[in-house]
Chains A and B, each alone.
Chain A
Amino acid sequence: MKRRAQWRCNEEWVTRQFFRRLLGVAVILSGMALVVGWRLVDLQIVQAAALAKRAERQQERMIPIEAERGAIYDRQGRVVAMSSELPSLFAVPSAIDHPAALGAELAAILERPRQELVRRLSADRPFVWLDRQVAPARAQAVLALGSEGIGVVVENRRFYPKRALMGHLIGFAGLDHQGLEGLELSYDHLLRGERGWLLVERDAAGRAVFPKSARSAQPAKGRDLRLTVDEVIQYSMEQALDAALRQTEAASAIAVMMEPRSGAILGMAVRPEFNPNQAAATSAERWRNRAITDLYEPGSTIKPLILAGALEDRKIRLDELIDCEQGSMLVANRRLRDHLPHGLLTPPQIIQVSSNVGAAKIGMQLGAPRLRHWLTEFGLDRPTGIDLKGEAGGLLRPVAQWSGRSLASHAIGQELAITPMQLVAAYAALANGGLLVTPHLVDAAVLPDGTRQAIERPAARRVISRRTADRLRDILVSVTAPEGTAPKAAIPGFRVAGKTGTAQKIDPETRRYDPREVISSFIGFVPAESPQFVLLVIIDGPQGAGWGGVVAAPVFRQIAEETLHYLGVMPQAPMVAQAAYVTPHDVRGTE
C-alpha cells in the first residue's frame, strides 16, 4: 500500500516535470517564433522599402547609353565629321604569367615597341592601357591570343575623313565628345544629343540578364549638320593658297567665299593648315580661324565703301574732278603719297588706280562723323554674327579719339582694323544691291528621322541704295580692266568687279609701319551683273613685290575661275584668246 502510494507520487512528479519542461520548451519556441515573427515584420514591413532598394542596387545595373554625336556634311551631303567606335586594349598585369613572351606577341600585332609593352605588362598596377582606339582587326588578333589578363573596351572617337580640309571651320570635339573648337563648339548643343540609360538585372557573374524595358531611356542622337560649304570649292581655295604660299614665301594666307544674297559661306580657307584628327598634337595657335579672329588694316579695299557713303550722302558726283596733286598731299604735317603721280581724276578713276590722295579727299568731303557712320553701317565696328564662336569685332575708334590725320588715314584703310569676314560681308552689300546679310556656315540641322530644321538668321539690313550699289559695281569692274590695278584678276568671258589692297604692317618694336612687311589682298565678285560669290584673298607677308594686284589677284582669279566652272556658270561676254597677262606698268604701288 505504501509502495503503491509512493509510485503514484512519483508518477505525478514525473508528469508535473514533463509538463513543466514542455511549457518551458513551448515558451522558448514561442519566444523564438516571436523573435522570428518580429524580424519578419521588421524586414517585410518596417524596412521593406529600404531593403527593396538595396536589393535593386545589388541585382540591377544601370547602363548609360552614350548618344551618338551628329555628323557634319558639306553642301552636297559629303561626310566631313562623324563619330565611330573603336576598341581599346587594356591589361591586368597581375593576371599575366609571362609578360616577356606576351609582350613580344603583342608587339608584332600592334606594331609597337616590345620593350614598352613588356614594361606595361610587368607594371605593379591593377590596370594598364596597351593601345587605345586601335583597328578592329588588330583588337581581334590580340583577343585571339587567349590571354586572360587582356581585355577590350569600346571607345567612341570623332573622325574627320577629309583630314585638314575645312579643319579651321569644323574645329574638333574632345574625348568626352564635347565640342571644343569651330562648328563642333558653336553647334555642340545640337550635335551632342541626349544620353540615355538602360536598367538590367545582373546574374551571379555580373552579366546583364534582362533589360527592364519599362525602366529605360533611349539616347537621343545628336542632330546632323548640313553646311553651306562645298568640299570641291574649299579644296580649290586651299590648293590655291598653298601654291601662293610656296610661290611668295608668305607667312599665312586666308580666303573666304560667300554667296552675296544669302550670306552662305561657300568656302573659308586658312593657312597654315590644321588637321582636326591631330588636334592634341597641334599648338592652339594653329587651331585659330584667322578669318574671323584676326584683325588687320584693310588698306585700299576700304575705298569703295567710303565712296559708297559719299554717294549716298550726295557729297560727291561721279563726274566730279578731284585734284590728286600729282600723288602727294600734306595731311597734318605728314605727307600722304601715291606711288604714281595723278592729276585730275573722277571718283571712279580714283578707285580704278587706287589713288590715296583722291580717296583721302573723298573722305574729307564726307567728313569724319559721316565717314565713321558709313563704316559702322557696313558693320565694320562689330562682329558679323557668323555662326562661329570667338569672332572679333572691328577696331574702329570714336571720332573724338581721331588725330588730325585720322580722317585721311581711315579713308585709305589705315588706323582701323577689321576681320576678313567683316570685309566680305561689307562687299556682299555692294554685290547684292545694298543689303548687309549675316554670314553663316550651317544651312540646316537634320533630325534623326531626316527632317530638315532650318536655322533662323537675322533679316538682311539695307545699307545703301540699289542705285549706289550698281554704280559701285561698275566702278569696281574697271579695276580689273587693263588700266586698273588688278588686271590679273580678270577672267575671260566674265565681268569681274573687285579691289586690291596692300596694307603695311606695324612693326611691334618701332610701332611704326614697316614698309617691308605687307598684307596683300584682293576682294571681288563675279559675274558682276549677277554675282555668284564674293571672294576675298589675303596673303600675309609675301616676300618680294607684295602688291595685292600682283600677289592676291592671280589667286583670286584661279579660285574664281575654277568655282565658276564647278558651279556651271557660263561666260557672258565673248571669249577672247587667253594670253598671259603682263603686269601693267601703272599697277605697282598705286594700291
Chain B
Amino acid sequence: MKVFWTVVALVGALAVQSALSLIVPGWARVFDPFLLVVVYCGLKGGETHGMLAGAAAGWAQDVAFGGRVLGLAGLSKVLVGFGVGRAGTRFQLTEPGARLLVIVLAVLLDALTLRQLAAAFDVTTGALTVPGLALRALVNAGMGLPLFALVERRRWRWSGA
C-alpha cells in the first residue's frame, strides 16, 4: 500500500510540475513537488522508503525536465531521502517548526548536491543565488507544511473510519 501511494504521489508531482511549467514557468523552477514527496516519505517511512522514493522521484524529474545527463537529480534525492529518513527515525519531527527546518535543509542539500555532482561530471547547470535558494526553500516549505498536514488528516480519518 505504501508503494502504491508513493507512486500516486510521484505521478501527481509530475503532473503538477508539468502543468506549472506550462502555466507559470518561473514558479515551476522554484516549487519542487518531487522533493516534498521525498521528504514526506523519509519522515513517515524512514531511510529505506526515503531513499527509494528519492531514487524514483529524481529519475522522474531527470527524464522529464533534466539536461543532457540523467541521474543527477536521482542521486541528490536519494541522499535527501536518506538524510530525512535518518533524521525522522532519530528525532521527533512532527511539529510544524521542525518540519519547516527539515524542508529548508532538504532544499539546500538537494541544490548543493546536484550542483556538486554536475560539476564533478562536467555538466554545466544554471546556478542558484542565495536569494534564489532562500525563495526556493520558503516556497517549498510554505507549500509542503499544509500539504503534509492535509495528507495526515486524511490518513487519520481513513484509519479512524
B is a partner of A:
no
Mark B residues whose CB is within 8 Å of A.
Answer: none
